[in-house]
Structure formats: C-alpha cells, structure tokens
Structure 1
Amino acid sequence: DGDVHRHLYLQGVLTGLTEVAERPKVSAFSCHISGCCQVFDTLEGYEHHYNTLHRNVCSFCKRSFPSGHLLDIHISEWHDSLFQVMAEKQNMYRCLVEGCAEKFKSSEDRKEHLVTAHLYPADFRFDRPKKMKSGLKHGSSPAAQAAAMPMDVSMETSEQFQVDPMEVGPSRSMEILQPAARPSVLEKRLYKSR
C-alpha cells in the first residue's frame, strides 16, 4: 500500500490532491442576487447559500424553498386557480416527502400522514395561513370568492337598459314557458360588481 502511494506520488498524480487540501485564500465576496447582502470567503459556502435560498424561488410571491418538489407543491396549492376546485372532487394535497406518492383530501390529512408515516414533529409548521387579499381569501374557491363579493341586484326592464347582445335573454319572438315566480321575458336581473 505504501509502495503504491509512493509510486503515484513520484509520477505526480498526488500533487493535485495536495493542492485541494491547501485551498488558496480568496478575498470575501458577496452574493450576486439583488437585495441579498450575504458575504462569503469560500466558493462552497456561496454554493450552499445559493442552492438553499435562491435556486427554488416562487416567481409569484418570491418565497424560497429547499427543493424543487416543495416549490412545485407550493405553486399548485397557492397560485393555481383550479387547485381548490379540483381538491373538492379528488385528493390533490401531495405528500411533502419527495419519494412519497400519497395524495390527500386536505392539508390536515397530509399533516397527519407526515407525522405518523414520516415521523415529522407534530408542532412542525406545515402551512402558513393564507393571507387575505383585498378582502378575499387568496386560496378560496372561485364560487366562494363570488359569494363573498358584494353585488348590487336590481330589476330593470330591457327597454330601460341597453345591453350587449350576449347579455340579452331570449328574443321576444321566442316562446318560452317560465314559472310565474320568475321575472317576465322583458325583465332581467342586473348584477353589478363593486
């Protein structure tokens, strides 16, 4: 073993290994991402910093994630407008562990799975509460958002109010049987969003 080591050293193969052990000192440098003031004295420190804080950043809200898997889950659950609608019909909440393919009906079910199956601590912060966005919950379903939106409802006849052809009900020449409780063909409800 010692003879092989000495032979390789004499051939110059080991000189590269000694250079790795003796890293040259470099002057301190800062992170190149705007707004980040972190300073480094080694390339390894910078690479670790960049990979953990700047590689997997949400383009919508600028939050940083330790892996691409967690970033994908975040984007679908927080910024995909169809996610909540689909979550009402099928299991959409993916497990946070990258190798696990389980999906759940709710984030609470996912949390229970992570605690029991993957031994996450029960007090682990799994979800940040969704912030209110202009009076509406950001992640609520479109139907819930529409129900929460204040609206003025007024009854007007089609002669008093001119509308686009796309908004007009059946033409007067068409005969449509309507229950007595509904407005007549000449009346229509007008919805205005505030």
Structure 2
Amino acid sequence: MGAFPAWSACRRRFSPDDAFFNAGNVERELQAKQVSLNISEEERAYIGRIEDEDCWLVNCSIAGCGAQLRGVEELENHHLIRHTAVCSVCSSCFPTKRLLSLHISETHDSFFKAKVARNHPMYECLVEGCPGVFFSDKSRKQHLVDKHKFPSSFHFHKSTKNHPSQKQRQRFKAKSYMDSAPKPEEAAMSVDVDELSSAISKLTTAAESDHVPQSISFGRKRGGLVTRHSRHPRN
C-alpha cells in the first residue's frame, strides 16, 4: 500500500486587487456606510464645531475695543479697518493710510485751510490713482458720485458734533478739576482736631484768669446803691 498523502501548510501571497478579497471589501464598505448613518446629532454638531472655524469667537486684543469676531480672517479685517489708520486727534477710523492722511490735512491742518481760503484746489479725489483735485469738498463729492458711482449719501468727513475740540476738552478738564477741589466751606470744616482742642483750652484758661477789679461792685443794698470810688491816683 502506498503512503497516505499528507498536507503541509504553505504561504501564499495575494495582490490587493486579487479576487480573494472581494467578499471582504464588500463587507467593509457596508459597515462603513452603516457607521456613518449611526452618528448621533450631538456627534454631528461637535464635528461641525471643529470643522467650522467661524463658530469660534475671537476677542479683539486692543485695549478699549472689546469687539467679538468670528474667525481669524474676520479679526484681521477688523484690525485693518479699525486699528490701522486711526486719527490721533478725533479717533476717526479709515480703511487706508492715504485716506487718513487726507482727513488729517483737510480737518486738522491750518495751512490746508489757508490755501483753500485763497482759492487753491486742495481737495484730492478719494479714489487712489485718480488725478482729480477740487476747490471744495462739495465739488469733490459730486465728482465721486458722477464718475466713480459713489452713493449720493456718502460723506467723507464725519460730523464733529460728537468729537469735542481741543478747547472744549481743556475746559472739561478744568471743570472736572474745580469740581474735585474742596470748597472753602468744606476746607474750613476740615480743621485739625488737635488745633481746635488747643484753641478751646487757651480760651478756657484766659477766662479763668480774668477778675473784676475791687473798685467795681455789683448789687444793691437795702438802703440804696452800693458804690465804691477808686482812689485818685497820686500825682
């Protein structure tokens, strides 16, 4: 009789695209779809918050601003518009440094006003690259509306009613100082206690030392007035 055939294990290699893996690939895709469908609403919201950068609020770091912005891009735009070109006199904000320079010249420069008073064209067009120069802000605005299609309600210079002048600020500071200074009545009432006690003590001592001269008598006897005549001084 022949020997019984024996089976021995051997290693076989399959490529990733081999048909041997077809059934497993189908099962894997079904499980992946099932897992994606079983995500809860809370998990979806959490994933959305992570992926959506706009949901994160960022506070402006400039002191006194306190603006809350959505995302880094909005924060950069805020800094560019609100904190890059700011007038140091009236705190007006401008989108570009050129517009800030025009504002300072036209609003706070006395030499500019003197040139305008002598009928010199000093008002430059706000559109960068436009060579237009005008005699007044009104004529420049008309140019912006007609040629550059600006809205008719556009005003480059804001109203100065809400921005006090330098003299008004100085008066306000002086008034605040006068209000904070103690009044004369209050200063008189703030006498030191020790000084007041000392003054009262001196008055009491002086009153005890005073006496009535013997030559003077007060009162009335039954027989009439009692008078004492002082001796005549010797010559």
The TM-score, its normalising length taken from structure 2, stands at 0.43
Whether contact under 8 Å (2:85, 2:95) holds in the other structure is yes
Instruction: Determine if the alignment matches structure 1 residue 34 to structure 2 residue 74.
Output: no
Q: 1:29 to 1:77 in 2, by over 3 A?
A: same
Q: 1:105 to 1:130 in 2, by over 3 A?
A: farther
Q: Distance in 2 between matches of 1:100 and 1:130?
A: 28
* 1:121 maps to amino acid: P
Residue 155 of structure 2 is matched in structure 1 by 125
Question: In the alignment, which of 128, 132, 138 is matched to residue 102 of structure 1?
Answer: 132
Instruction: Determine if the alignment matches structure 1 residue 63 to structure 2 residue 107.
Output: no
- Aligned to 2:88, the other structure's residue is in SS state coil
- Aligned to 1:40, the other structure's residue is in SS state strand
Question: In the alignment, which of 69, 76, 95 is matched to residue 47 of structure 1?
Answer: 76
Q: 1:62 to 1:101 in 2, by over 3 A?
A: same
Larger RCO, structures 1/2 (Cα 8 Å, 6+ apart): 1
Q: 1:87 to 1:24 in 2, by over 3 A?
A: closer
Deviation for aligned residue 1:24: 7.3
Deviation for aligned residue 1:52: 1.1
Residue 150 of structure 1 is matched in structure 2 by none
Deviation for aligned residue 1:69: 1.6
Runs of 5+ consecutive residues of structure 2 not aligned to the other structure: 1-50, 169-235
* Deviation readout 1:53-105 (Å, 9 max, x if unpaired): 11111111111101112111101001112111011231001111112121111
The TM-score, its normalising length taken from structure 1, stands at 0.52
Q: Distance in 2 between matches of 1:74 and 1:41?
A: 30
Q: Distance in 1 between matches of 2:54 and 2:95?
A: 29
* Deviation readout 1:116-167 (Å, 9 max, x if unpaired): 11111222223334457458xxxxxxxxxxxxxxxxxxxxxxxxxxxxxxxx
Q: Distance in 2 between matches of 1:47 and 1:77?
A: 29
Deviation for aligned residue 1:40: 3.3
Residue 171 of structure 2 is matched in structure 1 by none
- Which of these two proteins has the greater Rg computed from alpha carbons? 2
Residue 86 of structure 1 is matched in structure 2 by 115
Q: Distance in 2 between matches of 1:129 and 1:40?
A: 28
Q: How many residues of Structure 1 are paired with residues of Structure 2 in the alignment?
A: 114
Q: Identity rate of aligned residues, in percent?
A: 39
Q: Distance in 2 between matches of 1:108 and 1:28?
A: 42
* 1:92 maps to amino acid: M
Structure with the higher helix share, 1 or 2? 2
Residue 139 of structure 1 is matched in structure 2 by none
Whether contact under 8 Å (2:53, 2:71) holds in the other structure is no
* 2:155 maps to amino acid: R
Structure with the higher strand share, 1 or 2? 1
- Aligned to 1:114, the other structure's residue is in SS state helix
Deviation for aligned residue 1:25: 9.0
